[in-house]
Structure 1
Amino acid sequence: MNVISLGFRTDLMMLEMSGSVVVDRSTHQVVRTPTNPGFWWGNYVLVASPLRDGDADHWTHEFGEYFPEATHFSLGVDGVDGEAGDAAELARLGVTVEVNAVLTAEEMPAPDRTPPGVDLRPLHGDDDWAQAARVHASCDDGDPSDPAHRAFTENRQADLRRLCEDGYGAWFGAFVDGRMAAGAGIFTDGSGLARYQNVETHPDHRRHGLATAVVQHAGHWALTELRANTLVIVADPDYHAVDLYRRLGFTETERQVQLQRGT
């Protein structure tokens, strides 16, 4: 299966670099992350086209065969126009349809200044990564008391830290008075594509230009140090962060479709 979605191509890039297994089944791809079974978008099926008549039953059966112990159902729909497929089939699946914007940039000027009093640098060591976890928790909609969700977030952060330590990218933090207030990661496999991860700002530090500084700094670093030629970021098209990305020169190039539900 030739994946045309830039969003899914860079998703798969990130997953394979961190040890996930992707198996091509010609009409679809099966993605497994055995070390993090609670990661819905690390354990899913990517299909080649929008859903048609009969696909609800077919993909429900296939997903059950591939992931018999899963407590979720997640199906990616390859494409660039945000088309999920037949409304009746989607209703039969009982899924939430998420359509995200995929934005790209081929240039990113060096930051002309860092906000006053802010130290912007890559993360190093246990304390920095513990602070990154604190920032993520402040932005996370999941239930922190749920053991499954806690395991997912801890495993995911361990994977991302390992990618940084293995030289696939870096995680940049904006520190105010020694405390991390915002951050984001950026990674590449050497293909020329560099993908952002988790652009986040602690609620106490929003609207101070920290996310802008982190995104710009990380993008410039990836283009110059990682020799990437295309920066890729995926975001909710209705969330205000999209305006930030556009101001930095990103343009929307496609829409990415994800179908999901708990079981």
Structure 2
Amino acid sequence: MEVASLGFRTDVMLLEMGGSVVTDHGSHLVVRTPANPGFHWGNFLLFSASPQPGDAVRWSALFEAEFPEAKYRAFGVDGVAGLVGQTSEHEVLGVTAEVNTVLTADWLVPSVATPQAEIRALTGDVDWCQVLELDFACYGLPSDDDSRRFAERRVAGYRGLCEAGHGFWIGAFVEGHLRSGAGLFAVGSGLARFQNVETHPDFRRRGLASAVLHHATQRALLDLGVRTLVIVAAPDDPAIRLYRGLGFVDRERQVHLHKVG
């Protein structure tokens, strides 16, 4: 199966670089991340088209066969137009459709602001522990041990990609504390994908995220041979205005069908 969506193509490339196993079944891909089985979007099915009448039963059976222990359901729909398919099939699957915006840029609009922070790549255990702390500050503490293990494994995966030379994680440090950060990884064909752009709730609107994105972009263009930057955001996420202001342009719509277990 040839993936048309730039969003899913970079998703899958990044997962494979981190050790995920991707199996092509022609009409769909099975993406499996043995190192983090609780990662829904590391363990999912990607179909070549949105669900049509009668597909829900087949999709459900395929997912159960691949992930028999999973209580959740996660299906990606390839394409660029954001077509979600038949809502009646969503009801049978028990999923909710989420359509995100895929944006690209060749360069970023120069920033005139100079935030009061140290902008640099992460190094060492202390820095990477702060990535986890920032994630919890943005989204809340995990409610159970499985959720915490998922978060820890995901951060460890990103660290592994950085240490393998596939990219870097840039942070904005205020008085030694990580207050904003993002990863940027080269995935081949001149593409680089941003991951987890986060800013501590108490430190927003200070230009920290913008500075992080600029610093990461400069390094990627110089060191990784990148020609196109890719970033994905929910259309109602306030951050999308920041991305557009920096020069990112809407390119595609990316469809996820998801049920939380």
Which TM-score tier does this pair reach, normalised by the shorter chain? over 0.9
Deviates more, 1:120-129 or 1:190-199: 190-199
Q: Which residue of 2 aligns with 1:70?
A: 70
The match for 1:104 is 104
Aligned residue in 2 for 1:29: 29
Find the counterpart in structure 2 of residue 256 from structure 1.
Answer: 254
Give the distance between the partners of 1:190 and 1:100, measured in 2 at CA: 22
Note the alpha carbon deviations across 1:61-88, whole angstroms, 9 max, x for none. 0000111111211000001011110111
Residue pairs, 1:52-91, within 5 angstroms = 52-91=52-91
Counterparts of 1:76 and 1:180, CA distance in 2: 33
Does residue 227 of structure 1 match 2:225? Answer: yes
In the TM superposition, structure 1's runs of 4+ consecutive aligned residues that sit over 3 Å from their partners are 109-114
**CA distance in structure 1 between the partners assigned to 2:68 and 2:177 by the alignment:** 43
Q: Does structure 2 retain, via aligned residues, the 8 Å contact 1:104–1:250?
A: yes
TM norm structure 1: 0.96
**Equivalent residue in structure 2 for 1:169, among 162, 167, 179:** 167
Offset of residue 147 of structure 1: 1.2
Give the number of aligned pairs. 261
Q: Alpha-carbon deviation of 1:109?
A: 5.4
Which consecutive residues of structure 1, in runs of 5 or more, have no partner in the other structure?
none
2:139 paired residue number: 140
* 3-state SS of 1:189 partner: strand
Letter in structure 1 aligned against 2:48: A
Deviates more, 1:66-75 or 1:132-141: 132-141
Using the alignment, how far apart are the partners of 2:221 and 2:146 within structure 1? 37
Give how far 1:167 is off: 0.3
User: Given that residues 5 and 79 in structure 1 are in contact (C-alpha distance below 8 angstroms), is that contact kept between their aligned partners in structure 2?
Assistant: yes
Q: CA deviation at 1:262?
A: 2.6
Alignment of 1:88-237 (within 5 A): 88-108=88-108, 114-115=114-115, 117-140=116-139, 144-237=142-235
**Alpha-carbon displacement from aligned partner over 1:124-144 (angstroms, at most 9, x marks no partner):** 000111111111111125x51
Shift of 1:153: 0.4
* Contact preservation (8 Å) 1:28, 1:47: yes
Q: Calculate the aligned-residue CA RMSD, in Å.
A: 1.3
Q: Give the distance between the partners of 1:190 and 1:254, measured in 2 at CA.
A: 19
Preserved contact between residue 49 and residue 78 of structure 2 (Cα < 8 Å) = yes
Question: How high is the TM-score relative to the length of structure 2?
Answer: 0.97
Query: CA offsets, 1:199-258, max 9 Å, x none?
Result: 000011011111111112212221221111100000011111000000110000000000
Q: Which of 208, 214, 237 is residue 239 of structure 1 equivalent to?
A: 237
